[in-house]
Chains A and B, each alone.
Chain A
């Protein structure tokens, strides 16, 4: 059957359009970047070949490491806290009465359909130290000592931005997982229930193992999505105070555009892409290696 379906012609017809579009508009633009990262380039003018100097130089900057710490913090928050919460939320939605289920499903995706600009702007208002929501609540329950200037305090700024991110996408991930749960044949559950399994056992022994593909998809999406975390920071703090809330992409953008050092900026981009490749590889390699057959 495979032979019948996979003629050279059919492979070409099916594979070409997407690969062509992808190559031209997504991969090709990376090549000038690679070239630029080996040159002293200010955005419009090549000031000479410098080899790997840009790479050494960006790695010496403390902002570079701060931005990596922040980025991996966001990845950790969204993978280690966000995904389990989404999973629990998805399982929770699954066992609700239809009416409540409809409410949760509608509500869950709502933040994700709003523009990042809108969401970030709203959370800036929540975090505002003088009249913002959080400090107002803390003051009203007598916890004045806990109020702070959330987005300018070096200890709280990244956690605060991370919380916004978590809040925005937790529901979306839950819905993706939930639709995955729905694709699991009902007779599996019936069989399990006849065997006397409780809800927890059903979840851990049937739902989660059978969700591997969807989970992998969500895992890739949210870990790489949070690697590229940028827009929220731009709107909420502009990387501040100082460089304390910069992420890697922010640092790249800042180096290239704000300081007119495109050579160094693209070196950061290349380093970043390499890290993403490794993460992507690790997920592909170690998560859901064996296909679970229905």
Chain B
């Protein structure tokens, strides 16, 4: 055969193969490559010998806690627990990466059987009917009763969509600091906002970066800083904002945003804060380049291992706020393992979701975090720092839900990130920020439907 004809022939062959692949129906011979079609041919009980039920799980893989849970708890235990399952893990990343992936799957109807749910994309999934109400399943098998506060699992529509370890009941933002660096600069733990700025200036004079927090894409600003700066001045205003009873024209809210602008302008944050990612922010603090880290308490067990680390609540900006009485409450009932409403194997999938939530709980328990899910183990010894935290947190009787997780739709959330990162540069007037955000707030659909 002439070489060219061979090439043409090959090309046509390839095209034919494509056509064949395109026209072939579901039961064509493509074993192992297509889990969803393969699985549909089996009875949903999946108890037939040899034939394993296949499930696809998308996990959140954002930080070292998550990584440890996967490597030390989920992977070693899952085969033992579910001998009849063949499980495929897909690391979802986190933040926007994960949200975009979930939205694509959601739009094209290719949902994983079990996935980490997040307030950021929940609405889309729910409207498309892709997320399952777990209430009846977990009530029947009694898993619900393992939670200390079963009510906390309910979304405001009264349904339960996600199972979590309950550790996030105890997640709240605080200010971690290095005692020795404070001493070196002759700084006391600040009690008020102005003292915080004074302390930062002294630290800066000593060549120490005062505060670091993940600022890239407005992470810290959106998740806690905005809320803290408002509620340390006026907790009531913050509570109203979370419940959609006020807006960004509220003087107390405006004052909170202005505080952030002032922090940025006074050089309280590390240079380039608006582009510092989670990992580098953690590293800056643990390597003692910065004196303070503004962070959620899910990092507390890791940070407690460093001798010099202590924490204090956000200092007050007015008499209306008492640091020992008010705390931000992270938990959103939406964060946790959820099951696709379209899964072929709902029974198995719910069991796996329960298993995953339990592994999270076991991990957080093992590192000395408080959890709200009964693991059956006796409580481990808590580190002194964790005890100090629990004493403070349990005594705080005003707990305000997280604004970022409980009040904004995807669009407003994205805009908060954008505008927030800009506010952190210190080159963006708070008035501009307020103008844009208030506009978004008016168009916020979270409470509307």
Most B CB atoms within 10 A — which of A45, A129, A257?
Answer: A257
* A149 at the B interface (CB under 8 A): yes
> B93-134: contact bitstring with A at CB < 8 Å (1 yes, 0 no)?
000100110010011000000000000000110011000000
Residues on B with C-beta less than 8 A from A20 are: 15
B443 to A: closest C-beta gap in Å: 11
A254-280 interface with B by 8 A CB criterion? 254, 257-262
Contact A237 B275 (CB under 8 A): yes
Chain-A contact segment, one of B137-145, B377-385, B392-400, B413-421: B413-421
Name A257's closest neighbour in chain B (CB-CB): B100
Contact B422 A130 (CB under 8 A): no
B370-418 interface with A by 8 A CB criterion? 409-411, 414-415, 418
> A78-92: contact bitstring with B at CB < 8 Å (1 yes, 0 no)?
000000000000000
Contact A258 B106 (CB under 8 A): no
Residue B128 contacts which of A45, A154, A258, A261 (CB distance < 8 angstroms)?
A45
* B270 at the A interface (CB under 8 A): yes
Residue B414 contacts which of A43, A149, A237, A258 (CB distance < 8 angstroms)?
A258
Chain-B contact segment, one of A93-101, A108-116, A205-213, A238-246: A238-246
A242 to B128, CA, bound (A): 30
A243 to B422, CA, bound (A): 8
A182 to B436, CA, bound (A): 56
Chain-A contact segment, one of B36-44, B293-301, B423-431: B423-431
A254 to B217, CA, bound (A): 12
* B8 at the A interface (CB under 8 A): yes
Contact B272 A44 (CB under 8 A): no
A150 to B274, CA, bound (A): 11
Contact A153 B425 (CB under 8 A): yes
A83 to B407, CA, bound (A): 49
A213 to B: closest C-beta gap in Å: 25
Name B216's closest neighbour in chain A (CB-CB): A238
Residues on A with C-beta less than 8 A from B124 are: 42-44, 260
A270 to B356, CA, bound (A): 43
Residues on A with C-beta less than 8 A from B96 are: 238, 257-258
Residues on B with C-beta less than 8 A from A44 are: 103, 106-107, 124, 127-128
* B12 at the A interface (CB under 8 A): yes
* A164 at the B interface (CB under 8 A): no
Contact B422 A241 (CB under 8 A): yes
A12 to B381, CA, bound (A): 77
* A27 at the B interface (CB under 8 A): no
* B271 at the A interface (CB under 8 A): yes
* B181 at the A interface (CB under 8 A): no
B440 to A: closest C-beta gap in Å: 10
A33-86 interface with B by 8 A CB criterion? 42-45, 63
* B152 at the A interface (CB under 8 A): no
- Please classify the interface of chain A as helix (H, G, I), strand (E, B), loop, or mixed, using the class held by over half of its residues: loop
Contact A130 B275 (CB under 8 A): no
Residues on B with C-beta less than 8 A from A237 are: 216, 275
Contact A261 B411 (CB under 8 A): yes
Contact A17 B11 (CB under 8 A): yes
A138 to B80, CA, bound (A): 58
Contact A241 B411 (CB under 8 A): no
B247-274 interface with A by 8 A CB criterion? 270-274
On whether A242 and B422 interact (CB within 8 A), knowing A45-B128, A149-B272, the answer reads yes
Residues on A with C-beta less than 8 A from B418 are: 63, 239-240, 242-243
Contact A241 B421 (CB under 8 A): yes
* A175 at the B interface (CB under 8 A): no
* B209 at the A interface (CB under 8 A): yes
Contact A240 B427 (CB under 8 A): no
A235 to B243, CA, bound (A): 35
Contact B271 A129 (CB under 8 A): yes
Residue A241 contacts which of B107, B275, B415 (CB distance < 8 angstroms)?
B275
On whether A242 and B411 interact (CB within 8 A), knowing A17-B12, A151-B275, A152-B274, the answer reads no
Name B128's closest neighbour in chain A (CB-CB): A44
Contact B415 A259 (CB under 8 A): yes
Contact A152 B275 (CB under 8 A): yes
A128 to B124, CA, bound (A): 37
* A13 at the B interface (CB under 8 A): yes
Contact A257 B99 (CB under 8 A): yes
A149 to B269, CA, bound (A): 12
A154 to B426, CA, bound (A): 11
B115 to A: closest C-beta gap in Å: 15
Residues on A with C-beta less than 8 A from B415 are: 259
Contact B209 A130 (CB under 8 A): yes
> A144-162: contact bitstring with B at CB < 8 Å (1 yes, 0 no)?
0000011111100000000
Contact A259 B411 (CB under 8 A): yes
Contact A130 B272 (CB under 8 A): yes
Residue A43 contacts which of B12, B107, B273, B419 (CB distance < 8 angstroms)?
B107
Residues on B with C-beta less than 8 A from A261 are: 411
* B289 at the A interface (CB under 8 A): yes
B303 to A: closest C-beta gap in Å: 21
On whether A130 and B289 interact (CB within 8 A), knowing A258-B414, A260-B411, the answer reads yes
Most B CB atoms within 10 A — which of A243, A244, A260?
Answer: A260
A261 to B217, CA, bound (A): 19
> B187-221: contact bitstring with A at CB < 8 Å (1 yes, 0 no)?
00000000000000000000001000000111000
> A115-146: contact bitstring with B at CB < 8 Å (1 yes, 0 no)?
00000000010001110000000000000000
B12 to A: closest C-beta gap in Å: 7
A259 to B419, CA, bound (A): 14
Residues on A with C-beta less than 8 A from B272 are: 128-130, 149-152
A144 to B219, CA, bound (A): 30
A10 to B: closest C-beta gap in Å: 10
Contact B421 A240 (CB under 8 A): yes
A124 to B103, CA, bound (A): 29
With A13-B8, A258-B96 already in contact, 12 other A-B pairs whose C-beta atoms are closer than 8 Å = A20-B15, A42-B124, A43-B124, A63-B418, A129-B272, A130-B270, A151-B272, A152-B274, A238-B217, A239-B217, A239-B418, A258-B414
Top-4 shortest CB links A-B? A242-B422, A149-B272, A259-B411, A129-B271
- Pull 20 A–B residue pairs with CB atoms less than 8 Å apart, ordered by A: A13-B8, A20-B15, A21-B15, A43-B107, A44-B124, A149-B271, A152-B274, A241-B274, A241-B275, A241-B428, A242-B422, A254-B414, A257-B100, A258-B96, A258-B99, A259-B410, A259-B415, A260-B123, A260-B124, A261-B411
